[in-house]
A and B are shown apart, each in its own frame.
Chain A
Amino acid sequence: MLSNTGNLILLLNILLSFLIIYYSLKCIRLPNNIISRNIYQLSLLQCTTILICFFTLVAAFLVSDFSLITVYQNSHSLKPIFYKISGTWGNHEGSLLLWVIILTIFSFLFLILNKNHPKNYRLHTLIIQNLLILGFLFFILLNSNPFSFVNPIPKEGLGLNPILQDPALAIHPPLLYIGFVGSSIYFSAAMASMITNYSNKLFAQSIKSWVLISWTFQTLGILVGSIWAYYELGWGGFWFWDPVENASLLPWFAMTALIHSLLVLEKRNSLYFWTIILCLLTFILSVMGTFLVRSGILNSVHTFANDPSRGIYILIFLSLMILTSIFFLFKKYKPANDIINSNSKETFVLINNWFMMFYLITVLLGTLYPIFTDALTSSKISVGPPFYNSVIIPIVIIFLFLMAIGPQTRWIKNKFTNFKNIFYIIAGSIIINFTIVYLFKSYSFISNLIIISSLFLIISSVSDILKTQNINFSRIVSHLSFGFLILFIGLNHNFSEEKDFNLKLGESKKIDNYKFILQDLELTQKSNYKSVVGVLNVNNLSTNEDRTLKPEIRIYDNPQTLTYEASIQTNFLRDYYLTMSNIDRSDYYNIKFQKKPLMIWIWISVIALSFGGFLSLFRNAKNN
């Protein structure tokens, strides 16, 4: 029953999209500047039906209707209700439905919230957005239908992968999707702007809020994903430069560049085509990321069930998108003649964009290079964290310095006093850096530079607050928290301790200034898993501090899976992180103990960073 309802609504949505396109085309030809009422009504109806469609799927998960193949493969009747619901978008088919919902809702909101912009521009945006919606609706119906039927109906579902049964991962996809699927609306708007020649600062105003919304959610989405990786995957890291993680980072770089170049377009009516390229690039990168992740051409920790036919479909869609964008870009491109002064804000925005493009291309190249070598020369290589760290980090140092100087462009005009200022700040950063190194007695060349440059950014941002009256809070908050983010990552990376060893029950081991005892192994039985809880005593020999950590090995029932739960003790100064895993055919356990300083501040910095995005959004809403 639910299967038929779902399919019917999907078909209805296709019809609605066609109708919207039809009426929009008709409306464009009319000489007035009014969008006819039925377009609004259809768009609202489209939103409502797609939401109903989604709730139908949620209902199917809630009542465990295993006649739907998606429910059968990703749910189980004994699963907690919360994870039954989150299971809806925890799989390929359901998450595509979420895609379409965001495409549709953004399409509707853009239509009703931009009433003071020209009719033709809005209608063209609507048409292009609906073409995107149609593309995904057809993909869902033809290839990834969440309402597909299984016959005979299975009695029980296969269950959701236990590492996905986590609150962070339940909210991770929606946040991330609002981010990168949300970028579709300024893809459409950019196309519409080129087609209708609506290329002034008003165009920048019409998309600014959307860029800020998507950037903020993308930031939060990446954060939640990292937190999940830290808590759930048990390696103690939060970023692995995995292809899937990179796929979410690439649009983020493009969005960050876009936010900055939009400022120039809005204030100075300059950099129009560059802004358009960034709008197009953001969504193209989002779709490309989806292609890489879902088609299975990459090896990654996070796997979706792979199927080459999906790959073909998204690839065709991606190619069409790219080629159309390029076509309009080539057709409409006019060399600009706006004035850019070397000591103006524009220059520093350009510098920001320059670095963002560097990061983007580095990460893109690192992600795609193994595919290239495999396809062209059949040699398989891996590109992982050590590559990205060694290419990107040295450049981050320069970037942070420029980021600190950038907003205060008058420094260049009156050179003397300001170079003195810069030197005071650098000297201050170096002294603080030395103090930190002296206190913790551990250092490496590159982390020193990272810490100095991030301190430089922090100090100059703070002095900026103290000096100027009319300050842009959102900018300060974002830049300051970015400085803190890099600082904390640097400190965390540099001063973390890691011990890796094997231990059996009752045994004790002394490593450096720690003594570890595996005191006990407790067996517990929970509703959907059994677990072995290790009781590990960790004694810090230099301070004689005693603590007990309780890592777990869990055996989940449906599906039968082994997971390792880290035991984490957090406070504002450091995290203690310990995982225990069994070694096959042995009574030894592999123990990984980590002390990670200032871990929680990394999360807080990212929250503050996205808060800067929210602030800017409110300011923008108030001004317009």
Chain B
Amino acid sequence: MKIKIYALIFFLHFSSILSANQIVDQNTIHKNLRCLVCQGQSIADSNSDFAQTLKMVVKDLINQGKTEEEIYDFLSDKYGDWILYKPKFNLENFLLWFFPYIVLVVGGFIIVFLIKKRSKKV
């Protein structure tokens, strides 16, 4: 019973938070865009000409009501996927996104298997 109440509190708490988080955040977008003329910096960290321009463009796009994803699509269309620090989910990046979790699951199985196999011999 107690567990159920806790679970309910947990659930309510998080669902209310999830819905509150829908605004397009300029800083988040800046941090996901690579400054193409710098050495490994995002445009949030750079003051180069290019970063300045891109910040203005992002601002315009937000004002036009574009979502975060649409802004990324627009820019990767113009500059290539190199500009995005968070690679897109697609066939090419499939392994990048899922391999860590595959490792996690397989690792879990190995541990369960090991314990089962070895503890029987007690």
Contact = CB atoms under 8 A, between A and B. Distances in A.
A581 B81 contact: no
A381 B82 contact: yes
Interface in A393-437: 395, 423, 426-427, 430, 434
A369 B39 contact: no
A341 interface: yes
Place the interface of chain A in its size category.
Answer: 35 or more
B86 A350 contact: no
A128 B83 CA distance: 44
B101 to A, nearest CB: 8
Contacts of B1: none
A384 B100 contact: no
A387 B86 contact: yes
A205 interface: no
Contacts of A337: 118, 121
Interface centre among B6, B104, B108, by most chain A C-beta atoms within 10 angstroms, is B104
Nearest to B114: A340
Contacts of B45: 233-235, 237
A357 B103 contact: yes
B107 A299 contact: no
B89 to A, nearest CB: 11
B34 to A, nearest CB: 5
A242 B41 CA distance: 9
A358 B17 contact: no
Nearest to B121: A339
B18 A395 contact: no
Given A445-B17, A500-B44, A583-B47, A303 B85 contact: no
A351 B17 contact: no
Interface stretch (A372-380, A514-522, A602-610): A372-380
A209 to B, nearest CB: 28
Interface string B57-101: 000000000000000000000001111111100001101110111
A354 B108 contact: yes
Contacts of A303: 39
A25 interface: no
A273 interface: no
Interface centre among B2, B32, B39, B47, by most chain A C-beta atoms within 10 angstroms, is B47
Contacts of A237: 45
Interface stretch (A102-110, A307-315, A359-367): A359-367
Contacts of A443: 17, 20
A376 B114 CA distance: 37
Given A354-B108, A423-B6, A583-B52, A235 B44 contact: yes
Contacts of B14: 445, 448
Interface string A211-253: 0000000000000000000000111010010110000000000
A296 to B, nearest CB: 12
A386 B85 contact: yes
Given A235-B44, A430-B9, A500-B27, A339 B119 contact: yes
A445 B107 contact: no
Contacts of B39: 299-301, 303
A358 to B, nearest CB: 5
A38 interface: no
B77 to A, nearest CB: 14
A354 B18 contact: no
Given A342-B119, A377-B92, A391-B100, A384 B42 contact: yes
A527 interface: no
Contacts of A240: 40
A377 B91 CA distance: 12
A596 to B, nearest CB: 13
B18 A445 contact: yes
A545 interface: no
Given A354-B111, A366-B96, A381 B87 contact: yes
A384 B34 contact: yes
A338 interface: yes
Contacts of B93: 369, 381
Contacts of B13: 430, 434, 448
A582 B49 CA distance: 10
Contact of B103 (A338, A361, A582): A361
A590 interface: yes
A167 interface: no
Contacts of B82: 380-382
A423 B100 CA distance: 30
Given A338-B118, A382-B87, A365 B107 contact: no
Nearest to A448: B17
A233 B49 CA distance: 18
A513 interface: no
B119 A365 contact: no
Interface string B1-45: 011001001100110011011000001001110100001111011
Contacts of A383: 85, 87, 96
Contacts of B122: 339, 341
A354 B47 contact: no
Contacts of B99: 361, 365
A242 B40 contact: yes
A557 interface: no
B6 A427 contact: yes
Given A341-B122, A342-B119, A382 B100 contact: no
Nearest to B107: A354
A278 to B, nearest CB: 14
Nearest to A299: B40
Interface centre among A351, A354, A564, by most chain B C-beta atoms within 10 angstroms, is A354
Contacts of A564: 47
Given A382-B81, A391-B100, A391-B101, 12 more contacts: A243-B40, A337-B118, A342-B119, A357-B103, A358-B107, A361-B99, A366-B96, A379-B81, A380-B82, A384-B42, A445-B17, A590-B52
Interface of B: 2-3, 6, 9-10, 13-14, 17-18, 20-21, 27, 30-32, 34, 39-42, 44-45, 47, 49, 52, 55, 80-87, 92-93, 95-97, 99-101, 103-104, 107-108, 111, 114-115, 118-119, 121-122
Interface of A: 233-235, 237, 240, 242-243, 299-301, 303, 337-342, 347, 350-351, 354, 357-358, 361-362, 365-366, 369, 373, 377, 379-387, 390-391, 395, 423, 426-427, 430, 434, 443-445, 448, 498, 500, 564, 581-584, 590
For the complex of A and B, the 5 pairs showing the least CB-CB separation, nearest first, are A384-B85, A235-B45, A386-B86, A581-B47, A362-B100
29 contacts: A235-B41, A235-B44, A300-B39, A339-B119, A340-B118, A340-B119, A347-B115, A357-B103, A358-B100, A358-B103, A361-B103, A362-B103, A366-B96, A369-B96, A382-B82, A382-B83, A382-B84, A382-B85, A384-B42, A386-B32, A391-B100, A395-B104, A430-B13, A443-B20, A445-B14, A498-B27, A500-B30, A564-B47, A584-B49
